[in-house]
């Protein structure tokens, strides 16, 4: 379970996110939507321990990211919006590096790397250096690295940007598979159709404030998510 | 013209982050203090050096020779550094795609790259040259024309060395881009060309022997063969308006011509440099290898190091010179000793203190090599990967120090071994030198990582901006120089006091061990906070 409690993060004197509170339960796919600059990435980076926040707390399965960041990070995986990977490394070495950091046993990483590399049709490229990859291929490597250590919580910032349609489909399949196992998927997106079809709950952020959070039915009622979002943002 | 100014402004606002500390006023004051103090110390040291020579030469009306020597030394330094900087500053920059997509001439893009390079060198040259120019004015009390010529001289003197290094850098990148292992080729070519330049400088060292006795002939040789220095000296001693205008015009023309010439081949080479050699056949059988987190972090750092030619050349050059120096001392010890004997020191005194001299040489190499001072900055935007990992910042930072030690230690040990064999040192001296071989790099690299944690540069356009033009690398070099000066001074004092080799080395190792302990305490104290404060 992710518990976000009264989180405020400021850049200088300007608050990027203000007093945000909500929970994401086990077995949920949670979409976080908002305009550019609304504070989505700031919150995501706070959850995964990249940013320190000024007020409040974030608990991952009961552990505070402030007090015990290592234990929290071990439960999570993060896929950034713009995968800045180690360009001079071979793709397989990068995935291995991430697995080493999570201390993933050899048999589990072999199984997972094989499974996801095959799924994303990138097996033949794993021996190439990352600097030869397109944005989408880098995104796939970031996804494989994230999934290779069987995270309980998967946090993704705009995960579908740059992916080909087949990969988008596969990522959605992986997400569904993970939530069936009781894991949590938390992601930000601009693609409202995907959010509407895929997610059980959604949060809408506007100028750093959470303006609406709830189940998809609660949020949109009889209307489309797009219409609700535009009305709220307008 | 408006476009050009906008481009220069945008380019400089990115490149000049070296001089932007922080938006927070308090933090800005704190962080600016150290670099400002170090710059003042360096400028004061330059002033003192020039004063030493000026005091002897000015009474003989030969004060201008000090300027000649300073101009030549700084031009050589700019050229040598420029050779391995230029390839990275001109080619394969992160903003290539943006600039090349704009409706501007391609030669304008190259001009901006060279101009940015020039501005940085101008700033560095000024730190070294300005004290000497002021010192000359204090001693000679020249006319107003001296100040005008010197202002223009300061602006124009970096031009020729950087243009020569741009041509050499373009040649190296052009050759290297034709090979599959372009980074290795680039490193080998850069080191080879720098060694050739150093060889010729070394062979011309005879010029500097007895600087006062041969002052005029040194001056005549330099000014005769090197137009920028020669004309500058001629103008300050005998001002001529026409020659002054020609001096400015020639520099501007040479700058424009060189940009035009490199521009003819620039874009072809840039495209080749960017091209990544892909494997002909797809390989399915990748290997999955499990390592401990620390080993994996060290491997990652090593991979980053060897794939950056400017990083390897910058850090590795001192280490290669250490080995070459040890070989030279071993092979040519008798001739070195003979030249030192002329100064009044006996051959017994030299041979008695060989372990301490080896210790001093080691000190020089260790403190002039700072690999870690760039390691945080070189992460760039991928620093977020490290921040999101389930590993303590201290472990990540210590892995960087260990990686640097792994890079330095083999070269240092080879040098040590050569000295041990040649001079048949006693076992205690050998053990003490071996301890120092580990301890001194540890101190240097811990200082480097501390400085880089405090002064990270995460938005560089290329590796050169981090390795050669960042606040962190500059501060580390200054601290290294200060450490060398203090250590050498103390070593000379200990030798003069007649202490034995073993006592001297034991005392110094003891002091260095305490310094290292204090540095470790400081690193543990500030590591987490600094790590968290780095936002990309």
Whether the predicted pLDDT of B255 surpasses 90: yes
Look up the pTM and report it: 0.85
Chain A residues whose CB is inside 8 A of the B25 CB are none
How do residues B454-478 score in pLDDT, each as one tens digit? 999 998 888 888 998 889 998 999 8
Can you give the pLDDT at residue B305? 93
**B513 bridge partner residues:** none
Alpha-helical (H) ranges within chain A are 40-47, 69-75, 91-101, 106-119, 135-147, 165-180, 192-198, 216-220, 225-233
Q: Would B435 be classed as within a structural domain?
A: yes
Query: In Å, what is the CA distance from A222 to each residue of A198, A217, A233, B147?
Result: 17, 8, 18, 80
Least confident of A47-56, B20-29, B137-146, B281-290: B20-29
Can you give the pLDDT at residue B185? 83
Structure ipTM: 0.90
Chain B residues whose CB is inside 8 A of the A127 CB are 279, 283, 286
- B117 vs B185, residue with greater confidence: B117
Question: Average pLDDT over chain B, rounded to whole?
Answer: 87
Q: Max alpha carbon distance in chain B (Å)?
A: 77
Of A78, A89, A129, the CB nearest to B388: A78
Indicate if B77 and B226 belong to the same structural domain: yes
Q: Would B287 be classed as within a structural domain?
A: no
B89 and B5 in contact (C-beta within 8 Å)? Answer: no
Of B23, B300, B390, the CB nearest to A102: B390
CB count, 10 Å around CB of B300?
24
Whether the predicted pLDDT of B329 surpasses 60: yes
Indicate if B266 and B350 belong to the same structural domain: no
How do residues B33-62 score in pLDDT, each as one tens digit? 878 888 888 899 889 989 988 888 888 888
Indicate if B238 and B114 belong to the same structural domain: yes
pLDDT, average across residues B150-176: 93
B278 at A interface, C-beta within 8 A: yes
Which chain B residue has its CA at the smallest distance from A69's CA? B390
Indicate if B382 and B527 belong to the same structural domain: yes
Q: Would B269 be classed as within a structural domain?
A: yes
Q: Would B231 be classed as within a structural domain?
A: yes
Chain B residues whose CB is inside 8 A of the A125 CB are 282
Query: In Å, what is the CA distance from A42 to each residue of A16, A46, A145, A199, B107?
Result: 7, 6, 22, 21, 40
Distance from CA of B297 to the nearest CA of A (A): 8
Indicate if B269 and B334 belong to the same structural domain: no
Can you give the pLDDT at residue A190? 85
A128 at B interface, C-beta within 8 A: yes
A126 at B interface, C-beta within 8 A: yes
Residue B46 and residue B37: Cα distance in Å, rounded?
Answer: 14
Contact B288 A96 (CB under 8 A): yes
Give the position of tokens 């980074």: B183
Indicate if B190 and B337 belong to the same structural domain: no
**A155 bridge partner residues:** A78, A186
Chain B residues whose CB is inside 8 A of the A93 CB are 299, 303
Indicate if B100 and B159 belong to the same structural domain: yes
**B359, containing H or E segment:** helix B354-368
pLDDT, average across residues A13-17: 91
Structure tokens that stand for A22 in this block: 């909500």
Q: Residue B70: which of B11, B146, B128 has the closest Cα?
A: B128
A46 and A53 in contact (C-beta within 8 Å)? Answer: yes
Say which DSSP state B268 is in. H
Of A74, A106, A132, the CB nearest to B288: A106
Quote the Cα angle for B26-B27-B31, to 5°.
125
Of A88, A101, A124, the CB nearest to B389: A101
Indicate if B267 and B355 belong to the same structural domain: no
Least confident of A203-212, B16-25, B163-172, B301-310: B16-25
Q: What are phi and psi of A11, to 5 degrees?
A: -105, 105
Structure tokens that stand for A213 in this block: 């959070």
Can you give the pLDDT at residue B53? 87
Can you give the pLDDT at residue A122? 94
B303 at A interface, C-beta within 8 A: yes
**A188, containing H or E segment:** strand A184-188
Contact A124 B284 (CB under 8 A): yes
Which chain B residue has its CA at the smallest distance from A97's CA? B296
The full DSSP string for B230-299 is HHHHHHHHS--HHHHHHHHHHHHHHHHHHHHHHHHHHHHHHHHHH-----SS-----------HHHHHHH
Q: Would B14 be classed as within a structural domain?
A: no
Say whether B142 sits in a helix, a strand or coil.
coil
Distance from CA of A181 to the nearest CA of B (A): 23
Q: Max alpha carbon distance in chain A (Å)?
A: 51
Structure tokens that stand for B73 in this block: 């030394």
Can you give the pLDDT at residue B21? 47
Contacts of residue A103, Cβ cutoff 8 Å, sequence gap at least 6: B293
Can you give the pLDDT at residue B459? 86
Say whether A30 sits in a helix, a strand or coil.
strand
Contact A49 B388 (CB under 8 A): yes
Chain A residues whose CB is inside 8 A of the B380 CB are 84
Least confident of A22-36, B9-23, B100-114: B9-23
A226 at B interface, C-beta within 8 A: no
Chain A residues whose CB is inside 8 A of the B292 CB are 100
Q: Residue B507: which of B364, B322, B349, B359 has the closest Cα?
A: B359
Whether the predicted pLDDT of A186 surpasses 90: yes
B290 and A100 in contact (C-beta within 8 Å)? Answer: yes
pLDDT above 90 as % of chain B? 50
Residue A215 and residue A163: Cα distance in Å, rounded?
Answer: 27
Instruction: Find the Cα–Cα–Cα–Cα dihedral A56, A59, A65, A71, rounded to 10°.
Output: 170
Residue B321 and residue B316: Cα distance in Å, rounded?
Answer: 9
| Of B224, B246, B274, the domain-final residue | B274
> pLDDT band at residue B278, thresholds of 50, 70 and 90?
low
- Structural domain including B425 reads 293-533
How do residues A113-126 score in pLDDT, each as one tens digit? 999 999 999 999 99
pLDDT, average across residues B398-421: 95
Q: How many domains does chain B have?
A: 2
| Of B219, B241, B274, the domain-final residue | B274
**B204, containing H or E segment:** none
A51-110 residues touching B, CB cutoff 8 A: 51-52, 70-71, 73-74, 78, 80, 82, 84-86, 88-89, 92-93, 96-106, 109-110
Contact A86 B382 (CB under 8 A): yes
Q: Would B131 be classed as within a structural domain?
A: yes
| Of B274, B302, B321, the domain-final residue | B274
Residue A196 and residue A172: Cα distance in Å, rounded?
Answer: 12
Indicate if B208 and B342 belong to the same structural domain: no
Quote the Cα angle for B188-B118-B71, to 5°.
85
B280 at A interface, C-beta within 8 A: no
Q: Would B281 be classed as within a structural domain?
A: no
Whether the predicted pLDDT of B422 surpasses 60: yes
Indicate if B95 and B143 belong to the same structural domain: yes
pLDDT, average across residues A79-87: 89
Can you give the pLDDT at residue B36? 85
Indicate if B60 and B121 belong to the same structural domain: yes
Indicate if B321 and B428 belong to the same structural domain: yes
Whether the predicted pLDDT of B203 surpasses 80: no
Whether the predicted pLDDT of B92 surpasses 80: no
Query: Mutate which of B307, B385, B458, B459 to disrupt the A interface (most A C-beta within 10 Å)?
Result: B385
Residue B441 and residue B412: Cα distance in Å, rounded?
Answer: 9
Residue B358 and residue B354: Cα distance in Å, rounded?
Answer: 6
3-state helix, strand, coil split of chain B in percent (to 5) is 80, 0, 20
**B175, containing H or E segment:** helix B159-176
Contact B23 A12 (CB under 8 A): yes
Can you give the pLDDT at residue B326? 92
Of B282, B300, B387, the CB nearest to A97: B300
Tell me the CA end-to-end span of chain A in Å, nearest whole number. Answer: 32
């Amino acid at each position: 379970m992710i518990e976000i409690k009264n989180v405020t993060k400021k850049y200088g004197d300007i608050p990027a996110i203000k007093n945000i509170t909500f929970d994401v339960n086990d077995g949920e796919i949670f979409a976080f939507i908002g305009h550019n600059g609304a504070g989505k990435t700031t919150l995501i980076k706070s959850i995964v321990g990249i940013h320190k926040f000024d007020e409040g707390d974030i608990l991952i399965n009961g552990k505070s990211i402030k007090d015990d960041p290592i234990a929290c990070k071990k439960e999570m995986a993060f896929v950034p919006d713009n995968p800045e990977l180690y360009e001079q490394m071979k793709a397989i070495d990068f995935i291995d590096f991430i697995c080493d950091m999570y201390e993933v046993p050899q048999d589990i990483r072999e199984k997972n790397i094989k499974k996801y590399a095959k799924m994303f049709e990138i097996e033949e490229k794993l021996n190439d250096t990352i600097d030869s990859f397109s944005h989408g291929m880098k995104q796939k490597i970031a996804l494989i690295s994230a999934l290779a250590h069987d995270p309980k919580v998967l946090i993704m910032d705009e995960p579908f940007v740059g992916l080909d349609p087949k990969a988008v489909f596969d990522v959605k399949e992986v997400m569904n598979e993970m939530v069936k196992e009781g894991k949590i998927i938390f992601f930000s997106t601009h693609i409202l159709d995907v959010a509407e079809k895929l997610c059980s709950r959604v949060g809408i952020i506007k100028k750093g404030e959470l303006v609406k959070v709830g189940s998809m039915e609660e949020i949109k009622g009889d209307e489309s998510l797009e219409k609700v979002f535009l009305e709220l943002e307008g | 013209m408006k476009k050009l100014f906008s481009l220069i402004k945008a380019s400089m606002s990115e490149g000049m982050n070296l001089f932007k500390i922080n938006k927070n006023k308090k933090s800005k004051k704190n962080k600016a203090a150290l670099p400002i103090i170090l710059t003042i110390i360096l400028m004061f040291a330059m002033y003192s050096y020039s004063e030493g020579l000026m005091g002897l030469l000015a009474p003989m009306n030969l004060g201008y020779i000090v300027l000649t020597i300073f101009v030549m030394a700084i031009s050589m330094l700019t050229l040598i550094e420029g050779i391995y900087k230029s390839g990275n500053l001109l080619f394969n920059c992160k903003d290539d795609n943006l600039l090349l997509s704009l409706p501007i001439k391609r030669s304008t893009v190259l001009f901006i790259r060279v101009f940015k390079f020039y501005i940085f060198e101008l700033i560095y040259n000024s730190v070294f040259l300005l004290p000497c120019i002021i010192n000359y004015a204090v001693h000679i009390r020249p006319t107003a024309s001296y100040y005008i010529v010197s202002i223009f001289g300061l602006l124009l003197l970096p031009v020729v060395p950087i243009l020569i290094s741009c041509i050499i850098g373009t040649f190296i990148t052009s050759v290297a881009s034709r090979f599959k292992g372009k980074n290795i080729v680039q490193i080998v070519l850069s080191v080879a060309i720098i060694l050739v330049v150093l060889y010729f400088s070394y062979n011309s060292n005879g010029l500097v022997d007895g600087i006062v006795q041969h002052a005029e002939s040194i001056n005549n040789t330099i000014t005769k063969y090197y137009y920028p220095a020669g004309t500058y000296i001629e103008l300050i001693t005998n001002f001529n308006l026409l020659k002054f205008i020609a001096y400015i015009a020639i520099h501007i023309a040479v700058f424009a011509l060189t940009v035009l010439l490199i521009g003819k081949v620039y874009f072809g080479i840039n495209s080749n440099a960017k091209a990544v050699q892909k494997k002909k056949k797809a390989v399915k059988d990748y290997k999955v290898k499990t390592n401990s987190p620390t080993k994996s972090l060290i491997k990652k750092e090593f991979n980053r190091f060897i794939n950056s030619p400017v990083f390897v050349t910058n850090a590795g050059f001192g280490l290669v010179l250490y080995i070459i120096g040890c070989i030279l001392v071993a092979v040519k010890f008798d001739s070195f000793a003979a030249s030192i004997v002329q100064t009044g020191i006996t051959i017994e005194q030299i041979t008695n203190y060989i372990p301490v001299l080896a210790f001093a040489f080691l000190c020089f190499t260790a403190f002039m090599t700072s690999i870690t001072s760039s390691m945080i900055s070189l992460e760039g935007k991928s620093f977020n990967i490290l921040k999101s990992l389930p590993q303590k910042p201290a472990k990540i930072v210590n892995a960087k120090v260990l990686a640097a030690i792994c890079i330095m230690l083999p070269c240092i040990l080879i040098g040590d071994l050569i000295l041990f064999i040649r001079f048949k040192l006693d076992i205690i001296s050998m053990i003490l030198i071996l301890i120092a071989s580990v301890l001194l790099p540890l101190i240097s690299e811990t200082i480097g990582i501390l400085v880089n944690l405090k002064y990270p540069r995460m938005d560089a356009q290329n590796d050169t901006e981090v390795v050669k033009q960042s606040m962190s690398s500059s501060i580390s070099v200054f601290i290294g120089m200060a450490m060398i000066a203090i250590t050498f001074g103390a070593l000379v004092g200990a030798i003069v006091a007649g202490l034995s080799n073993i006592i001297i080395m034991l005392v110094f190792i003891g002091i260095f061990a305490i310094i290292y302990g204090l540095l470790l305490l400081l690193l543990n104290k500030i590591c987490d906070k600094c790590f968290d404060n780095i936002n990309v």
